[in-house]
A and B are shown apart, each in its own frame.
Chain A
Amino acid sequence: MQGAILSGDDLSKIISTLVLIVVAVGASAILWIGVNLLFNQVRTSWTRFNALAGYAVGFLLLLLLQGNRLLKPHGPDADSITRLGELLWTPLLGALIFSALAVILANNDDQAQRLWITSGSGLLLGGFIGIRLAEDARPELEILPLLLSTIVIAALSAGVALLRSRNPVPAALIGAALGWLIGGFGVPELGDGSAVESAIAAAVPGLAFGARIGLSKNADVAGRARIDAKSRGAIFLVPALFFVTVSLIAPTLTTIWLSLKDEDSVDFVWFENYGSVFTDVNSFDVGDWTNIFTSLLFILGVLIGLGGLAIGLVLRKRTGDGFSAGGPAFAPLMIAMVMIVFGVLSVLRGTIMNNLWWVFTVTVFSTGLGLAIAVLADRAKLESVAKSIIFMPMAISLVGASIIWRLVYVARDTSKSQTGLMNAVWVELGRWSTGSGIPTVLGTVLVWVLVALGVASISRSLTSRAYDKVPLRALATIVLLWIAYRFTFDGIGGFRTNSAGETVSDTIFFVQDQPFNNVWLMVILIWIQTGFAMVIMSAAIKAVPTELIEAAKVDGATESQVFWRVTLPQIRTTIGVVVTTLIVLVMKVYDIVKVVTNGNFGSQVLANDMFEEAFLFSNTGVGAALAVILFVSVLPVMVLNIRRMQREA
């Protein structure tokens, strides 16, 4: 908004951010080194380790309570120094008590005494903390949930311990402590209870925790060595686990929780939100499913597929190999699959179907084109230049690419000249094919030359007995023939005949015309992701041992046989990685739809719908339900990917 790029205000914000980063990194490093040094003490000086560890645990526990204002009192008008002192003295005192206890335990090997000491001090400390709890944190005891959760969790813990053939008593104690805490503090409203109630709620878990610690033996030399060794892994793992929990697992669980509640996240509605997603015609509309069978794409796809099937069956009878990749039946079957899927998904509408369509189209075409380019560019002249150009769109942000393509797709009123590339070409094509000038004549000659070339290529493969190439070439020639026929007689391209019988230009609304506007949006992502697929697969192709390829060539394999029978099986795992990565990425597609159509014209996708529901219309429940649907549909692919990664590792 202001003219200057950086104002003084911005600069001070940047500096404070940098300082914060340095402090955070430094603090983390100090903490990490400190914990390592602490555990270095385990072998050499057990007592000191216990003293320090007790100090740290006590300090942190009480600081957590005090810092969150769960302990009283907070004087209302203290200055900052007094408040800081008040904040710190309880934790420091607690730290000293814990430290002292730990030292006593470290030097006492008598099991009975240990149990008495820990249980007693656990009870006392818990009770003391309970009494000192701030009034608005005191729970009102509800006996039934309290006992229920204590018994259930303790029993569960003991059961798990038994299953793992361990002693169930310590586990039951921990479970009882957690259960009592949950039942005592988690279930009831906080702030209604008395000091006695809160003391009971806190003392019992203290007793249970204490008893659990008392049951353990004072570690001998071997035990200490084990603690020392095990601690190092934990020191690395715990911070990562903490952040994964806070930033990934907790939000996931919260989202699932929210998806079961109403729009204000107050009342439970169970699966109503999911139901509303599937009953809303905008997200799931399969009412017109019978139209599938009258859709031209579907019918053509089935016909081509049947043709491919016939070729494959005949070949299998003759040569025993009908449906192999790269064989004569392969191309028709692939084309048929794409056409049938397009035919089905252009009839079944809604957000969910759109997402499926996106996933199918972008994944298939990006992988296919990427593979084709990687193979064709391999060892060709100017390979690196070609690959750089294909890869370039990867560097453009999705939003930027969407804006570029929106300009490519734009249509203008037909009385004006077209500024969008696609419509300019389309309208010009219409002019040529319906006009009578030199371009029309040249165009007519050109299309028929192309048809002739197609026919020639078929006859060439027939005479050279390369029958496997015939189906694809025939298909291409038929398409060319149709274009040539239209160009010469009816005309092809952006024109229409108006009511007065004149021929006027006509545009395509790439972004508005349903349902194929979706495909034009997908083109944007394919344009971007082809580069990604190409780079990965190009690397994989280069990694195929040359001996293998040379051996195949020596045995008389043609280039295409080398690719389909040698290279492709070698890079199968890479293709799998590319496909799964793309599926996950496409599932989350958001930016393109947001920028180009904003979900209008039947192009809504799950991610944009989720954003709108949750943040524009404040329907947190439905938004969360959509997020969960998205999450669940990505999950199998992720599991597959991770399992493969583990297998390979």
Chain B
Amino acid sequence: MKSRFLKLLALLFAFTLIAAACGDDDGESTTGDDAADAADDGGDMADDGDMADDGDMADGGDDMADGDVSITVTGPERDESEAGAIQEVLGAWGDENGIEVTYLGSADWEAEINVQVEGGNPPDISIFPQPGKLADFARAGHVVPLNDEAAAATAANWSEAWTVFGNVDGVQYGVPVKADLKSLVWYQPARFAANGYEVPETFDEFTALVDQIAADGNRPLCVGIESGQATGWPFTDWVEDMLLRQHGPDVYDQWVAHEIPFNDERIVSTMQAVLDLWTEDNVFASSGSIAATAFQDNGQPLVDGDCFMHRQASFFSAFMPEGTAFGDGEGEVNVFYFPDINGDRPVLGAGTLAAAFNDNDATMALLAYLSTPDYAEARQIAQATRKGGGATLSGFLSAAQGQDPSVYQPLEQSFLNVLETAAIVRFDASDLMPPDVGAGTFWTEGTSAVNGDITAQEAADRIEASWP
């Protein structure tokens, strides 16, 4: 009887201890916060921000422990060369500053960031491919504005034309970290010369060239819009580029801001113009139909000569077959500017923006670094090395001011030149629109239209109906 009582007593203690351990968890995380706060305070970063504010954010997602500061950065770039280069550059910055920086690239970034944010477990920094998404998050209070230091660095390193995409209702949230030039057509100069074709200077010459190549029994264009979750985006790019040419930047801006409906006759006619260009005789689709062909599968046919031109962004160099040289020689690939109609040389661009989910000093310091030309150069070098070095293109491009142009290949320098000198630069519209449209119906209904299941008018009507 006695031993039994002792057992019971022991159990009671065990019980209390377990409860205490559970409670301890709570205590520890509080202490963890304290340690983090202390580290912030003790660290060299000057700002003595309002720590009471940051308590909630820190609770949610940070991995600060034992006084070491660590930062998690997520983004959609997951290719070894891209993700590896980002990790290498950010890691080196972290080593210098005693901060552990981890980059996590994900194919499902669009879905994951929502889940992480709604679950109260966001990363410290995420790289947004869509300013529209960033604006959504900013208005919902999920991302925090840049502190003075980071905002100043961003303003100093990037031109207004780019920083505006990270600006929501007058407050700077995003730091541009990457730029893409989309109004490009890839072609093989040697093959053009052999067939007696010339690079078109106007849009009429472009359509005439398309007709001529088709009449010669060849396929002028390579088009493929399949891209997993994002299937349809190359179609949206074509529509945007064409709209910019046919109706000018003002209509484009009204369209993006939903000041004119999506099914405005000008938009519908532009969509129809793209679809009219993509006839069976004009397009080589390696998987049989445009909707089924993966966008990255268009490099090989271009090099093989199955098609003569491929309108795609500057980053497409990354999807050219391995060993493809860029230049005007035999078998080499080059680009020309997708010709304009009204002579105003509009340029369609895109890019990514980094934004933070907490205003810790370390996080803001990293954002400030991301805006610098130092970051752009380091990333370009790291990414080019991973691509094989030499004359290969890295696929990365940054419009940060004050970069050393020599880190870029001649072709890439010409991209930068276009971006810097163009009078009319417009950001990818689908990335600016609300995600329901820009990453939703514009893609899916566009894909249906390309597949011939619905007309351009029907697609535009449905997209308009889905605008939130």
Contacts and interface: CB of A to CB of B under 8 A. Distances in A.
B28 to A, nearest CB: 7
A281 B445 CA distance: 12
B27 A615 contact: no
A117 interface: no
A80 interface: yes
B114 A615 contact: yes
Interface string B98-139: 000000010000110011001000000000000000001000
Nearest to A419: B287
A204 to B, nearest CB: 28
B114 A618 contact: yes
A214 to B, nearest CB: 27
A263 to B, nearest CB: 8
Contact of B292 (A30, A63, A80, A512): A512
Contact of B231 (A37, A67, A410, A600): A600
A52 B31 contact: no
Contacts of A411: 287-289, 292
Interface in A573-616: 598-602, 611-612, 615-616
Interface string B257-280: 000000000000000000000000
Contacts of A63: 19, 23
Interface in A75-101: 79-80, 83-84, 87-88, 91
Interface string B408-451: 00000000000000000000000000011001100010011001
B453 A602 contact: yes
Helix, strand, loop or mixed for chain B's interface? helix
A288 interface: no
A231 to B, nearest CB: 16
A60 B20 contact: no
Given A413-B286, A600-B291, A1 B80 contact: yes
Contacts of A37: 7-8, 11
A84 B453 CA distance: 66
A59 interface: yes
B23 A88 contact: yes
A294 interface: no
Given A412-B286, A413-B284, A509-B292, A598 B451 contact: no
A616 B110 contact: yes
A616 B230 CA distance: 11
Contact of B447 (A60, A600, A619): A600
Interface string B277-300: 000000011111101100000000
**Interface range for A:** 35 or more
Contacts of B26: 67, 87
B23 A67 contact: yes
A528 B306 CA distance: 38
Contacts of A282: 462
Interface in A412-435: 412-416, 423
Nearest to B9: A52
Contacts of B23: 63, 66-67, 84, 87-88
B84 A34 contact: no
Interface in A295-323: none
Given A37-B7, A507-B288, A512-B292, 5 more contacts: A1-B83, A1-B84, A27-B18, A598-B231, A617-B439
Interface of B: 7-8, 11-12, 14-16, 18-20, 22-24, 26-28, 30-31, 78, 80, 83-84, 87, 105, 110-111, 114-115, 118, 136, 140, 228-229, 231-232, 284-289, 291-292, 306, 435-436, 439-440, 444, 447-448, 451, 453, 462, 468
Interface of A: 1, 27, 30-31, 33-34, 37-38, 41, 52, 55-56, 59-60, 63, 66-67, 79-80, 83-84, 87-88, 91, 263-264, 281-282, 410-416, 423, 507, 509, 511-512, 514, 598-602, 611-612, 615-619
18 contacts: A30-B14, A34-B14, A37-B7, A66-B23, A67-B22, A67-B26, A83-B27, A83-B31, A84-B23, A91-B19, A281-B462, A410-B287, A411-B289, A509-B292, A600-B447, A600-B451, A617-B439, A618-B114
